[in-house]
Structure 1
Amino acid sequence: LQQPAEEVMVSTDENLDQLREKYAQFAGSVNGEENITVLETDLIRIELTNKGGHIKTVELKGYQTYDSLPLILLEPESSRFGLTFFSKNRLINTEDLYFSPSTSETNLTVSGDNTMSFSMRLYTDLPDGEKNLNSYIEYLYTITCNNYLFDLTINLEGLDGVMSSNNNYMGLNWFADLRKQELVQDQWNGSTIYYKYLSDDVEYMSETEDDDEQISTKLKWVSFKQRFFSSAIIAKDAFDNGKLTVIEKKDHGNDRYLKTMSAEFELPIQLQGTTSIPLSFYFGPNKFYTLKAYDLDLERQIPIGWGFFLLAWINEYIVIPTFNWLGGYGWNYGIVILMLTLLLKLILFP
């Protein structure tokens, strides 16, 4: 009766050895059961998965698609996020590994003026296979109510000797298929990647063709922009060596997605002691004053004639406030645009 148990134990040990060959001190986090934690405010609903510790789904409240469905910016089938680095000469991708959540609660809500923090930790292994609670990668999410922007701080603790000693950087990879939110689509609908240099202007990639760029200059943020909504990742310091890609979806048998967008960066790290990498995400509407309030030049994703001072001034201080004022009456955008056009004609051609 004992022999089968011994055989199972040997098989398990052999399996662990095989995992260590591939995943080094992260072998204990390869197998697990996926669990979802929901973070919710009055504006946004976020699902986090313990597999990879990252954002799985983002839903904007108060908005719907053209066919009256919930407005989803990210979804599990079409988005990825992970860190890559070398450990014992093995390439590790955190997206493949199971993190440990800071609480067993699966639904967390923040309201009023409150702020909520929630973390996922990827622990390394002790020699006996147990988790080393003093050695981990942590994703610390901090969310404030009534805000489309929230923080993600990546903390590295006790990883000296776990990551390769010559690692001065770790990779960050973000990928998403952008869902179609409108009934009528055209290639000039403004869907592309916008990015801001650390100490310079905002640039954007092609809106009508596939495009890719390798950027050696430091970046402040990168945004996966659609006509009315954006998904942006923002560095408190900077991203290094960005590789950005936009690919138009050409599979006419699947009209669910518009474009594929990806961003790859390098994050500078220190393996001695604790390293903290503060980032932020913005998932929300492309409303001029909402974006401008963050003082990050995110509003420059909205084409109001930035290259011409007078045109930009007129749009920012006359056209946009008037548009918002008319929108306050509860009219749909078609009527608002018609009324705005009539008002401008009356002013310009009395």
Structure 2
Amino acid sequence: MDKNQATGLILMSILLVAYFWFFGSPTELPENADNTSQTTEVDSSYNKSTEIKSGENTSPVETVANDSLINEQLKSRYGVFAPAARGEEKNITVSTDVINLVFNAKGASIDNLELKDFKTFNQEPLILVNKEWEEKELLVNTVVGAVNINELYYELQNNPKTSLTEGDTVTYDFVADLGGGRKVIQSYTLSGNAYEVGYDVSLKGFQNELLGDQITLVWDKQMKLYEKDLESSRTKSTIKYYNSEDGVDDLGERSVDEETEELAIPINWVAYKQNFFTSALITDLPMRRAKLTTTGEGISDEFVKYGSIRTEIGLDEVKDNKASFKYYFGPNNYKILKKTAPDFEDNLNLGWFPISLVNKFVIINVFQFLEKYIANYGIIIIILVLLIKLALSPLSYKSYVSMAKTKVLKPQLDEIKEKHGGDMQKAQAEQMQLYQKVGVNPLSGCIPLLLQMPILFAMFYFFPSSIELRGQSFLWATDLSTYDSIASLPFDIPFYGDHVSLFTILMTASTLLITWSQGQVSSVQGPMKNVQYMMPIIFMFVLNSFPAALSFYYLIANLITFGQQTLIRRMIDEDKIKQILEENKKKNANKKTSKFQQRLQEAMKASEENKKSKNKK
């Protein structure tokens, strides 16, 4: 080999090395097990290619080759949506009177949403939506598989205003132009003073590129802790949903285990409901089948529960631009919820029927009326107690008089028991005759108390659900919507907790005082008289972790009740009652037993005979 041949071979070797260096394919990406991981790899490749800066020692031919490979990867992953699979993330911040919101051009998504009028229990901004702890997907079926159109890059149209006040209504149109007349449009409509966010999605210009008859919406969310009491917050968080035929249902608030519901019925709204705040998706055109899941297992104390919503939207509706929705991101305020959607106020737990009716039509209306004129919620609670006690005073009076009559009759009732010894049937029959002759109904003292029970239990639901009390202080309580701890215990007492609530202690003491006062006119004797003192102690354990407003309400109610009883006792003359009863006894001496009492006596007789027959066996 001469010198020229050697030189030629060297030059050819250099050219071959250069060719494979500049024009050879880079290492192929490994195939992924699912679409999600594949998307991650594509995005990573894209970021590497776009981060190349001018001035770096990079060949234009190499960049073209990489871009060509990425385009092929995007096309195989996104199909007809590939032209919008590359772009730039841009944040658009919008501020209204009640929310601060951040849109992201990637996915046309809401990346962050803050409620301006509220703070967390530790006074941090209350963020109801954040991309770090929730994710939304809109999955469209295509020939290349399911494509999440929330991974596409959009352009905001028309540069709308980003600072809204009352009276303003602005629509933000995010468009992904795919070419060939095909577009994906996601639109949001905001008002200056509303917690509702209008939402429309449409696919325009598509012919046969899309498969199936639905779009799948996936909304996964870790529900953030906003209140001081983690346990209470966890047991008041769930997913609720509404169907026009069956009404409102949920996955079970109190359960922290995994709860799953697969629905074959269309739903009009679905919501992540927490104690004081709700995030929801609402539509007039029902969403199709749905799968809902919640769990509190294995989640950090930063969150109360994890939830997953998977539902379907009709594809034809999206193509025809009929898929109109609205989101609700806001407080569980009865006035606001009631105007948002059918039965949406049921995201506020006001108790079972008829307790919920008392709350909806009586307590809430009175409370809202007082709010207009009084700023201090402790004073509002005191006035609320006074109004309710005034309205119920006739029932309280009748109940107290009935107890006084029973006390006057007690010596005669004891004589009848001694007369018949152990024969309870004859004793009870003669006691009933005595009641009839003197004109006393032994149940009349219970009926007024039973009529007051719906209001008593209505408060049990109203105060823990009232967002108006959240963050409001009164006396030593810094927040009336949670317990008023005056001391933390170094240990946890079962059913009581690891803290001491002063309002609960005072409420218990006042209840014991009321029980003692009622015992002065009650005919109850023996062990039952001591048992009635156990109920206040039980309530002390139950209410220790309940809102301070509830214990304060019961405290004031007890003090007013004690005052009422003292006043009524002075008004009632037991000697006069005894005289009236004796006159009734003489007047009704020959009065026949009523049909009701005859039936009652027969029932008692049958019960006694049944008991005797069992003893013989």
How does the TM-score come out when normalised to structure 1? 0.87
Aligned to 2:262: 214
Q: Give the alignment partner of residue 109 of structure 1, picking from 160, 163, 174.
A: 163
Are the aligned partners of 1:50 and 1:98 in contact in 2 as well (CA < 8 Å)? Answer: yes
Q: Give the alignment partner of residue 201 of structure 2, picking from 154, 161, 164.
A: 154
Aligned to 1:321: 365
Quote the Cα distance in structure 2 between the aligned partners of 1:54 and 1:322: 41
5+ long unaligned stretches in structure 2: 1-17, 23-58, 397-563, 565-617
Structure with higher helix content: 2
Are the aligned partners of 1:160 and 1:272 in contact in 2 as well (CA < 8 Å)? Answer: no
1:1-40 mapped onto 2 (5 Å cutoff): 4-40=59-95
Aligned to 1:194: 240
Structure 1 residue 330 corresponds to structure 2 residue 330:
no
1:240-255 mapped onto 2 (5 Å cutoff): 240-248=288-296, 250-251=298-299, 254-255=300-301
Structure 1 residue 282 corresponds to structure 2 residue 337:
no
TM-superposed CA distance for 1:172, in Å, is 0.9
Q: Give the alignment partner of residue 274 of structure 2, picking from 205, 208, 226.
A: 226
Are the aligned partners of 1:196 and 1:219 in contact in 2 as well (CA < 8 Å)? Answer: yes
Are the aligned partners of 2:230 and 2:301 in contact in 1 as well (CA < 8 Å)? Answer: no
Q: Give the alignment partner of residue 176 of structure 1, picking from 218, 221, 229.
A: 221
% of aligned pairs identical? 26
Aligned to 1:119: 173
Quote the Cα distance in structure 2 between the aligned partners of 1:312 and 1:271: 37
Which has the higher mean CA deviation after the structures are superposed, 231-240 or 21-30?
Answer: 21-30
- CA 1:271–1:238: 2 relative to 1, 3 Å: closer
1:72-83 mapped onto 2 (5 Å cutoff): 72-83=127-138
Which amino acid in the other structure matches residue 21 of structure 1?
S
Which amino acid in the other structure matches residue 102 of structure 1?
Q
Are the aligned partners of 1:43 and 1:147 in contact in 2 as well (CA < 8 Å)? Answer: yes
- CA 1:272–1:42: 2 relative to 1, 3 Å: closer
TM-superposed CA distance for 1:316, in Å, is 1.0
- CA 1:293–1:163: 2 relative to 1, 3 Å: same
Quote the Cα distance in structure 2 between the aligned partners of 1:289 and 1:104: 34
Instruction: Report the count of equivalent residues.
Output: 335
Which amino acid in the other structure matches residue 264 of structure 1?
R
Quote the Cα distance in structure 2 between the aligned partners of 1:32 and 1:243: 33
Quote the Cα distance in structure 2 between the aligned partners of 1:272 and 1:201: 26
Are the aligned partners of 1:56 and 1:79 in contact in 2 as well (CA < 8 Å)? Answer: no
SS in 1 for 2:236: coil
Are the aligned partners of 1:54 and 1:82 in contact in 2 as well (CA < 8 Å)? Answer: no
Structure 1 residue 270 corresponds to structure 2 residue 288:
no
Quote the Cα distance in structure 1 between the aligned partners of 2:95 and 2:157: 16
How does the TM-score come out when normalised to structure 2? 0.51
Structure 1 residue 300 corresponds to structure 2 residue 328:
no
- CA 1:297–1:212: 2 relative to 1, 3 Å: same
Which amino acid in the other structure matches residue 226 of structure 2?
Q
Which amino acid in the other structure matches residue 258 of structure 1?
V
Which amino acid in the other structure matches residue 312 of structure 1?
S
| Structure having the higher Rg | 2
Which amino acid in the other structure matches residue 256 of structure 1?
E
Which amino acid in the other structure matches residue 228 of structure 1?
F
5+ long unaligned stretches in structure 1: 125-131
TM-superposed CA distance for 1:153, in Å, is 0.9
Quote the Cα distance in structure 1 between the aligned partners of 2:368 and 2:391: 18
Deviations for 1:186-213, whole angstroms, at most 9, x for unmatched residues?
2564211111013331111111232111
Quote the Cα distance in structure 1 between the aligned partners of 2:294 and 2:348: 18
Quote the Cα distance in structure 1 between the aligned partners of 2:209 and 2:216: 16
Aligned to 2:416: none
Q: Give the alignment partner of residue 97 of structure 1, picking from 152, 172, 180.
A: 152
Quote the Cα distance in structure 2 between the aligned partners of 1:14 and 1:114: 47
SS in 2 for 1:58: strand
Which amino acid in the other structure matches residue 319 of structure 1?
I
TM-superposed CA distance for 1:315, in Å, is 0.9
Are the aligned partners of 2:201 and 2:318 in contact in 1 as well (CA < 8 Å)? Answer: no
Which amino acid in the other structure matches residue 13 of structure 1?
S
Which has the higher mean CA deviation after the structures are superposed, 225-234 or 143-152?
Answer: 143-152
- CA 1:76–1:295: 2 relative to 1, 3 Å: closer
TM-superposed CA distance for 1:133, in Å, is 6.7
Quote the Cα distance in structure 1 between the aligned partners of 2:391 and 2:84: 66
Are the aligned partners of 1:212 and 1:245 in contact in 2 as well (CA < 8 Å)? Answer: yes
- CA 1:15–1:293: 2 relative to 1, 3 Å: closer
Which amino acid in the other structure matches residue 112 of structure 1?
E
Are the aligned partners of 1:158 and 1:271 in contact in 2 as well (CA < 8 Å)? Answer: no
Which amino acid in the other structure matches residue 238 of structure 1?
P
Aligned to 1:258: 304
TM-superposed CA distance for 1:39, in Å, is 2.4
